[in-house]
A and B are shown apart, each in its own frame.
Chain A
Amino acid sequence: MSEPGTVVELPPAATPGAAPGGASGGLAHNALWQLTRARVLSFLREPEVAFWVFAFPVLMALALGIAFRSSGTPRSRIGVEEGPGADSVAAALSRSADLEVLRLSPADAEAALRRGKVAVLVRATAGGSPTLVSDPTRPESRLAQLATADALERAAGRVDVARPRLQSVVRPGSRYIDYLIPGLIGLNLLGTGMWGIGFAIANWRQQRLLRRLIATPMRRSDFLLALLLARLLWLVLEVGIILAFGALVFGTAVRGSWLAFVLVTLIGTLTFSAIGLLVAVRARSIEAVSGLMNVVQLPMWLLSGTFFSSERFPAVIQPLVQALPLTLVNNSLRAIMNESAGLATVAPAAALLAAWGLASFFAALKWFRWD
């Protein structure tokens, strides 16, 4: 206080923990600690948020993991339309281990085929060969059609000559749940980055809390750093819960480098946080920021291969699809968890991901408004 003759400071009252005139020691007087603590506490006290971050991915994994579980050999379901000769055809087909046979009245048969209840419809004709009806654009129809034809040929007396020996292997890491778990982790990192940072900032701006904060000597870097620290704490929790759930219930695992796994989730979290920050640089209301967050998230929800492979999209848009931050996270985590990839394999994707994060962060700093 160097202004000449303006204020004479009297010694403050006994203030435990406050070192007079200097930086105070102890966590309680550390702004970064207090800001981080406030962020974590108010997050933990929102049950809805905790549900979306922690419970939702687990429930999702459970539902999809059960729906698409691969138990035993899959059998094709085929329908035999009632009519003359139907009995003998059905009996022949039932002997095949690959087929599950349903007897259908002519009235139901077409509908069953159309709805995908049966993959192939067999129509017996008195005396002649049966007709196989199927939709060739359905992948399961082709398989069912071949198995049906094969069973009918054998029943008619075909003798197999080549008799190749069949060997079965089930590779760990190739089931649908193995595909799904890394995608759920990626999706969660995206969601918490957007909500935990973007939504929170817009909300505080709307409530004029940001303005109240900059009316204090608080360091703005402390504020941003606290948001990130809180974010990293949840990262450990949310990724930990999904990983542990996958491992205990479905036997999924991280087969590659743990270092690479930690690095990719870390960079992914920071990048999604930076994107969340960028989305909220100016938004004055939670409605505005919610709309922006959807605009940013929707392409990644659709294209980034969380629930099915992004390779299915046309080649024209593949460069875009492959460059999306969520695609980078998902594919890297899959490579690490399921294909035993190490740091070197995922390094290019991690670098591109980091570039997204840095670009978003500096753009956010440039345009950020406190009020």
Chain B
Amino acid sequence: MPELSQQSPGAGPALACRGLVKRFPKVLAVDRLDLEVRAGECFGLLGPNGAGKTTTIEILEGLNTPDAGEVNVLGQAWGRGDGSDRALRERLGIQLQEAKFQDKLSVIETVELFRSFYRRGPDPEDVIKSVQLEEKRESWVGKLSGGQRQRLSLAVALVNEPDLLFLDEPTTGLDPQSRRQLWELIAAFRSRGGTILLTTHYMEEAERLCDRVAIMDHGHVLALDTPAALIATLGADHVVEFAVDGALDLAPVERLPGVSQARREADDFALIVREPHVSIPALLAELDRQGVGLKRLATHHATLEDVFVYLTGRTLRDE
């Protein structure tokens, strides 16, 4: 597939919103949200279910109207009423969460149908090939697996060679292999110069795909930066999780060498440390001193999940 489009140097953002507010009868879904997505980047909205990600992305897609705030997509606002919305839609690729295509249409028929709505775009056969669905070309949509359906949904979003691609939870509910397959396809679009806004509640997905990530909760952005920079705000790269069989006083543990933060999660404890090989022996000594036994200990590299927990005191999975 060809290069989709190239951004001129110094161009404005592909997507921006300021002061976005959306209120539903029982909940303030989006609360004074500001975002800016640069042309050519992959930008992620990361947050638990109910954080307002889908409402936000649907406002940006022009499918929902905000109660307040400004939206600018590829240099124009929605709803100017002069037919410019249609012209804008020619340049967007959209994947909706949980949208189904007609079960009794085949893959090729579905792609051809959506291709016919756009003035320009690749051949439907090429789009199907690009998402590796050639073998399922004649299969009815109703017979596809979850991963195949998500790839079809991506194919339909790419059928006009969009400049800007919106993906709402593109891999939710997929097995690891299907997820990795979709990541490759999304990365390929990104490497051809396309701009992507995606929502996810998988931190691994955000770390893998996104140039920048906004961590959302309760309708607003808690933190926004590159995944590496967000993780760096924790002050250290490693997380030591452990459980003990007695009452532990956490205050002295927090003062151990190399520990930047200590946190209690129910019966478990988590330390964010710079150097595990220094902190772990010190931790064991401290446990000995307090007279509590160690039941379990594990370490991992700090992730966006740890950043979210640090920011909210909750885990992404809990929601």
Contact = CB atoms under 8 A, between A and B. Distances in A.
Contacts of B103: 42
B121 A15 contact: yes
Given A8-B6, A13-B122, A207-B100, A3 B116 contact: no
Contacts of A207: 99-100
A21 B116 contact: no
B63 A215 contact: yes
A30 B114 CA distance: 10
B213 to A, nearest CB: 24
A209 B117 contact: no
A63 interface: no
- Which interface residue of A211, A217, A218 has the most chain B CB atoms within 10 A? A217
A31 B119 contact: no
Nearest to A30: B116
Interface string B125-159: 01000000000000010000000000000001000
Interface in A238-265: none
Interface string B12-43: 10100000000000000000000000010000
Contacts of B161: 12
A344 B246 CA distance: 97
Contacts of B113: 34-35, 37-38
A6 B6 contact: no
Interface string B42-85: 00000000000000000001110000000000111000000000
B104 A42 contact: yes
Contacts of A212: 94, 96, 99, 101, 156
Nearest to B153: A212
A337 B51 CA distance: 64
Interface string B99-111: 1111111000110
Nearest to B8: A5
Majority secondary structure, B binding face: loop
Contact of B119 (A3, A4, A5, A24): A24
B63 A10 contact: no
Nearest to B102: A42
Given A42-B105, A217-B86, A371-B63, A10 B3 contact: yes
Contact of B120 (A12, A14, A218): A12
A197 to B, nearest CB: 15
Interface residues on B, range: 35 or more
Contact of A215 (B12, B74, B89, B163): B89
Contacts of B123: 14-18
A352 interface: no
B1 A13 contact: yes
Given A15-B120, A211-B63, A5 B126 contact: no
Nearest to A35: B113
A42 B121 CA distance: 25
Contacts of A214: 63
A1 B115 contact: no
A45 interface: yes
Contacts of B117: 31, 216-218
Nearest to B106: A41
A20 interface: yes
A208 B1 contact: no
Interface string A183-226: 00000000000000000000010011101101111100000000
A28 B112 contact: yes
A28 B116 contact: yes
A209 B102 contact: yes
Contacts of A31: 116-117
Contacts of B62: 215
A371 B102 CA distance: 16
A216 B114 contact: yes
Given A3-B74, A211-B96, A216-B118, A41 B89 contact: no
Contacts of A169: none
A18 B120 contact: yes
Contacts of B74: 3, 6-7
B172 interface: no
B4 interface: yes
B35 to A, nearest CB: 17
A11 B163 CA distance: 13
Contacts of A160: none
A229 to B, nearest CB: 15
A37 B116 CA distance: 12
Interface of B: 1-8, 10-12, 14, 39, 61-63, 74-76, 86-87, 89-92, 94, 96, 98-105, 109-110, 112-123, 126, 140, 156, 161, 163
Interface of A: 1, 3-18, 20-24, 28-31, 33-35, 37-38, 41-42, 45-46, 204, 207-209, 211-212, 214-218, 371
14 contacts: A1-B91, A6-B39, A7-B6, A8-B6, A12-B2, A22-B119, A35-B116, A41-B109, A46-B104, A208-B99, A209-B99, A212-B96, A216-B114, A217-B119
